[in-house]
């Protein structure tokens, strides 16, 4: 049984990982790791992330042969038994094709298993395979479906006995929903991929927002953060109390050149396959190198380079959490483990110290301004 953890107190800035448990062929050999080995590797990755002091580990939900996990709560429960401190979240739960009451029950159970470390990241998902599996096809109004299911998920979290009526499932007339979560409030983040309406929804509901930036210049996404905070304020929520997270692709190696050379082949293979499915242009090495520059979306480099990029984006967004997806394609397990080690031991301490220094300076400045205003 895992040792119970104290009540969760977030750091001023959290750093973590998320994965889709990729099972893509090695572009050099054409070989694909077995499902059993990939699951073993995944649990070792979570365990190491906990040991090196990272704050969060997320597991995504997919229903495709190239991604292993279709039931994140089960994988996170296994990870909970092997970790002590790290937060455990879905990344994402595809809420439109789930039953919200069941989602709450699964993550409340995870919260009990983990000693109060569970979170839900709810989103629409970026693939459509779950529609025919659970809905019989694409819904006529997916936005309305998602909004209704999110409302029920929040109702189940906030009320032991739920009264609710909608169009997507039978009404609830005060039935109890069990078990209840251990934390004072089970965190539910809203995952946003670049849709203004989603950023507005997160702010209006007073939910923390996880913003995916996997391509393009980060400056282009600043309006989403602004809309999120303005919507929160308009709805009566304090934006300063709502967390913003950035989710991006990345990989760390001892040198920048090594990181690029190891990450590019698998990154390009996966993104070009998705591009063929969706009509995107192919990714070249030149595109990849541009994306890993300071003003690109990829966090691929040595520890100093990745540290500088996290801090650069913090200047833009003022966010409280950064999660990195280290394996867009299936990199060798040893390379991922080394990347996690560098992230936790070399990147995270420097980022935390610098942001803490900036926050202290800002607080001191504000105190000085207040004192002068009252003098």
pLDDT for res 34: 96
Q: What are phi and psi of 94, to 5 degrees?
A: -80, 85
What's the pTM value of the predicted model, to 2 decimals?
A: 0.94
- What sign does the dihedral 90-341-254-354 (CA atoms) show? positive
Q: Which of 184-188, 257-261, 270-274, 345-349 has the lowest mean pLDDT?
A: 270-274
Adjacent-strand bridge partners of 17: 57, 324
pLDDT at residue 303 tops 90:
yes
Cα distances (Å, whole numbers) of residue 296 to 233, 245, 283: 30, 17, 14
Q: Which of 2-16, 74-88, 142-156 has the lowest mean pLDDT?
A: 2-16
pLDDT for res 5: 43
What is the full DSSP assignment across 207-231?
Answer: --EEEE--SS-GGGGHHHHHHHHHH
pLDDT at residue 7 tops 60:
no
Using omega within 30 degrees of 0 as the cis cutoff, is the peptide bond preceding 96 cis?
no
pLDDT for res 306: 98
Instruction: Note whether 104 and 73 are within 8 A (CB).
Output: no
Helix crossing, 100-114 with 142-158: angle to 10°?
40
Cα distances (Å, whole numbers) of residue 96 to 123, 141, 335: 8, 11, 35
Using omega within 30 degrees of 0 as the cis cutoff, is the peptide bond preceding 92 cis?
yes
Name, of 123-127, 243-247, 355-359, the range with top average pLDDT: 243-247
Residue percentage of the chain with pLDDT more than 90: 84
Q: What are phi and psi of 90, to 5 degrees?
A: -75, 160
pLDDT for res 328: 87
pLDDT for res 66: 92
Instruction: Note whether 205 and 122 are within 8 A (CB).
Output: no
pLDDT at residue 159 tops 50:
yes
CATH H-level, domain 14-374: superfamily: Luciferase-like domain (3.20.20.30)
Q: Which residue has the tokens 């629409």?
A: 124
Residue percentage of the chain with pLDDT more than 70: 95
Q: What are phi and psi of 349, to 5 degrees?
A: -60, -40
Adjacent-strand bridge partners of 67: 22
Q: To 5 degrees, how large is the angle CA 316–CA 319–CA 323?
A: 110
Instruction: Note whether 343 and 17 are within 8 A (CB).
Output: yes
pLDDT for res 23: 93
Q: Taking the C-alpha atoms of 177, 182, 185 and 189 in order, what is their torsion angle to the nearest 10 degrees?
A: -90
Q: With CA atoms as reference, report the closest residue to 122 among 155, 100, 144.
A: 100
Q: Which of 82-86, 106-110, 272-276, 320-324 has the lowest mean pLDDT?
A: 272-276
DSSP reduced 3-state for 122: strand
pLDDT for res 150: 98
pLDDT for res 374: 61
Residue 345 exposed, middle or buried by CB count within 10 Å (0-12, 13-18, 19+):
middle
Higher per-residue confidence, 16 vs 125: 16
Q: Report the C-alpha gap between 123 and 29 in whole angstroms.
A: 35
DSSP reduced 3-state for 129: coil
The one-character DSSP state at 235 is T
pLDDT tens across 50-99, in order?
999 999 999 999 999 999 999 999 999 999 999 999 999 999 999 999 99
Q: To 5 degrees, how large is the angle CA 338–CA 93–CA 236?
A: 110
Instruction: Note whether 82 and 72 are within 8 A (CB).
Output: no
Q: Report the C-alpha gap between 193 and 199 in whole angstroms.
A: 9
Q: Which of 107-116, 183-192, 217-226, 273-282 has the lowest mean pLDDT?
A: 273-282
């Amino acid at each position: 049984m895992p040792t119970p953890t104290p009540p969760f107190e977030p750091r001023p800035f959290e750093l973590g990982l998320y994965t889709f448990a990729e099972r893509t062929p090695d572009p050099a050999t054409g070989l694909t790791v077995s499902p059993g080995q990939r699951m073993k590797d995944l649990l070792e990755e979570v365990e190491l992330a906990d040991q090196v002091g990272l704050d969060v580990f997320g597991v995504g939900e997919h229903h495709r042969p190239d991604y292993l996990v279709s039931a994140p709560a089960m994988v996170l429960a296994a990870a909970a038994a092997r970790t002590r401190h790290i937060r455990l979240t879905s990344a994402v739960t595809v809420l439109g094709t789930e039953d919200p009451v069941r989602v709450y029950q699964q993550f409340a159970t995870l919260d009990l298993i983990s000693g109060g470390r569970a979170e839900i990241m709810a989103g629409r998902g970026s693939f459509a395979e779950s529609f025919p599996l659970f809905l019989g096809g694409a819904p006529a109004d997916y936005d309305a479906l998602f909004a209704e299911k999110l409302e029920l998920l929040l109702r189940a979290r906030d009320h032991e006995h739920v009264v609710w009526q909608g169009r997507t499932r039978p009404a609830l007339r005060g039935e109890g929903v069990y078990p209840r979560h251990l934390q004072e409030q089970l965190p539910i983040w809203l995952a946003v991929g670049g849709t203004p309406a989603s950023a507005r929804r997160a702010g209006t509901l007073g939910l923390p927002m996880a913003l995916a930036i996997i391509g393009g210049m980060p400056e282009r996404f600043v309006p989403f953060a602004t809309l999120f905070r303005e919507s929160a304020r308009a709805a009566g929520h304090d934006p300063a109390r709502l967390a913003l997270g950035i989710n991006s692709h990345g990989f760390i190696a001892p040198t920048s050149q090594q990181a690029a050379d190891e990450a590019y082949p698998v990154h390009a293979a996966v993104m070009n396959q998705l591009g063929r499915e969706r009509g995107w242009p192919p990714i070249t090495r030149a595109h990849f190198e541009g994306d890993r520059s300071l003003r690109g979306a990829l966090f691929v480099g040595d520890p100093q380079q990745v540290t500088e990029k996290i801090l650069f984006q913090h200047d833009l967004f003022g966010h409280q959490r950064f999660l990195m997806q280290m394996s867009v394609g299936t990199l060798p397990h040893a390379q991922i483990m080394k990347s996690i080690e560098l992230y936790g031991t070399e990147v995270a301490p420097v980022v935390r110290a610098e942001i803490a220094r900036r926050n202290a300076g800002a607080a001191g400045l504000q105190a000085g301004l207040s004192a002068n205003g009252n003098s």
